[in-house]
A and B are shown apart, each in its own frame.
Chain A
């Protein structure tokens, strides 16, 4: 079946540090990949996405590249801010999921990021 594995965390960084949150996946074919962010007490927000191999998703200074050869979609940011403190979720949507899979996503367990001033 499909699965997503994220680094355990929590991740604690100082402001302006470099961020990497690892995400690897298991799926058949070429799934679509996503990163979501959840701020305290809120719902999930789509941060970025990639729908095919070698695509790079980017938004708000965050980037992730779809690596088919390593089945990975690691999230990176060059300089984090206190306002980036949140829980980050990696997710996949299987190829051809418009049919019997009904667009269901498989989520990782989430990684807590805390950024100190």
Chain B
């Protein structure tokens, strides 16, 4: 069966510091991968998606970036965090119709 991992689970970072969030998927090959941000426990905003190694598409211009160095690894990064980057970050994967989500990372920028 497939599983998706995200780490860290929680993170508190000062404004201006760098960020690296990691997502890995087990038990499948060549999935589509997605990064979402959720603010205030409600709506989901799609940030990036990837259909293969090194292939990244950005949905929203911002100071975040994403990379996919391996088939089942998806990384979300920033060089300098802003207060507005605080939120709950969710990674997801899909092969066909539905998407499956990871447990999320709670990021607080202080």
Contacts and interface: CB of A to CB of B under 8 A. Distances in A.
* Band of interface residues on B: 20 to 34
B43 A51 contact: no
Contacts of A112: 42
Interface residues of A, number: 24
Interface string A65-79: 000000000000000
Contacts, number: 54
Contacts of B34: 104
A45 B49 CA distance: 19
B98 A87 contact: no
B32 A102 contact: yes
The residue among B49, B51, B92, B98 with the most chain A CB atoms within 10 A of its own CB is B98
Contacts of B106: 41
Given A89-B44, A107-B43, A109-B43, A51 B97 contact: yes
B90 A103 contact: no
A17 interface: no
25 contacts: A32-B97, A32-B98, A40-B41, A41-B104, A42-B104, A43-B101, A43-B103, A43-B104, A45-B101, A46-B100, A51-B97, A93-B97, A93-B98, A102-B51, A103-B32, A103-B96, A104-B34, A104-B46, A104-B49, A105-B99, A107-B44, A109-B42, A109-B43, A110-B42, A110-B43
Interface of A: 32, 34, 36, 38, 40-46, 49, 51, 87, 89, 93, 102-105, 107, 109-110, 112
